[in-house]
Amino acid sequence: MESLEKIIKYKFRNPLLLAEALTHPSLAYETHRPHFDNQRLEFLGDAVLQLVLTAELYKLFPDFSEGAMTKMRSRLVSRDALQEYSKSIDLGKYLLVGKGEDASGGRERASTLADAFESLVGAIYLDSGFDEAVRFVMLCAATKIEELSTGPIEQNPKGELQEILQRLAHYPPAYFVINSSGPDHERVFVSEVKWGEMTLGQGSGSSKKEAEVCAARVALEDKLWETQHK
């Protein structure tokens, strides 16, 4: 467990919380300790994780709609994402599982790893509070958040938008930089996407391309052409 603490850069004040977070229900069943497993911590950790990532997305993407941020959060808290976070800290290696569960590959099962990660978040929250939980979640999720900030919610929002609009009329959307601010090393661009005379959305980013992608995402969420294009 000390090795895990080194990986996550956190030393538990109450080691029993860590032990509980790592205890799979299968071991609790085998040892006849039904009240000592990670299910309650999983319940708590899920709520903490949702709040941490919701707050982070709200801060990072001020121009995004509720729908867009909901899609992004869903990707960050999906079972696959939680499994990735767990593997990034080699969490499966430290899980305490029953013999039968272990023999069937349980410690590497996606659902087991996802539940254990949420449990670990909950344990850190109880041990040190919200700020430390934020630090840990961001340690594990930062790369995936960065992928979301530079990549689309869909595979190709600009291409998807163009395909939709060109089915309605034979001209594509156009992108314009309408503002830029900040020093050269921290430049922020604001772009809008227009279709004819209609403005479909605006977005911001650290590059013109990122701002255009953001504008296309907003346009896909708002679908203004459905109410204005008759």
**Catalytic residue positions, numbered:** 46, 118
Closest CA to 52 of 141, 143, 154, 156: 141
Phi, psi (degrees; rounded to nearest 5) at 29: -65, -45
Contact call for residues 203 and 178 (beta carbons, < 8 A): no
**Of the candidates 116, 119, 146, 111, which has an alpha carbon nearest to the alpha carbon of residue 48?**
119
Per-residue tokens: 105: 């590959």
Distance CA 54, CA 101 (A): 34
CB 86 within 8 A of CB 92: yes
Burial of residue 20 (CB within 10 Å: 0-12, 13-18, 19+) is: buried
What phi, psi does 181 have (nearest 5°)?
-150, 165
The sheet with strand 174-181 has its strands ordered as 174-181, 188-195, 198-205
Strand bridging mode 188-195 / 174-181:
antiparallel
